[in-house]
Structure 1
Amino acid sequence: MDERLIGKSLYEKALNHDFAEVFTGDIKTPVKYASSELKKLFSQVEEEMVETFIEEEIPLQYRDVYKQRLQEGKDDSLEAKYFQLLIKLICFMKHLEKYKNVIPKNYFSKFMK
């Protein structure tokens, strides 16, 4: 696959992956994934809220496009997997930054050899 197409797809997924948070707010990953039932409920609520928004606010001729776009990043494509990994790395880096004063300075050097 052309690298430009992968980049374009990643960009599109990045734009839309958390659209439901407009309605629900940012629910932290550890909470969202605390149990499979909870994750399923959060997903169901997000899907229903997005569906309601599309039905009430988007003209009929554009609804299918919006439904497709707002599901991006939640599929099993290679780009979605890259994107999910990127999100996890960003979260990890934020936590490292937050706790940098409690982690010994040379702690990670043993893993970098």
Structure 2
Amino acid sequence: MFLQAFALSLPVVMTVSAETCETIQFQQGTNSTTVTGVAPPDSIICYTITTAIGQTVDLAVSGTNMVFSVEGLIDAQQKFQFTAEQKTYRINVGQLMRAVAEEPYTLAVSIK
């Protein structure tokens, strides 16, 4: 019981890799893109997308031990689809189970 209470009292630290998020941009005339990167073991990589109301957003991450979260919407997913509001969404990509090494990933994004 003491160990459990001790573990719960420890602060959880997760740093963001960059102070600002990278905006995901699409080439003219396209509605999907992929972003590749390397996730450090102790932080996340942050991206943003801006959508119009009613658009369908499809997100998928591939890579060993990789997940993404959309702030205020979902956590720790590998694939997710949602109907967007008119807003800018923040997408955080990182390792599900923290490893000692960096992990490469590919994030696929489609907005229709």
TM-score bracket, shorter-length normalisation: under 0.3
Greater per-residue helix proportion: 1
TM-score relative to the length of structure 1 = 0.24
Greater per-residue strand proportion: 2
TM-score relative to the length of structure 2 = 0.24
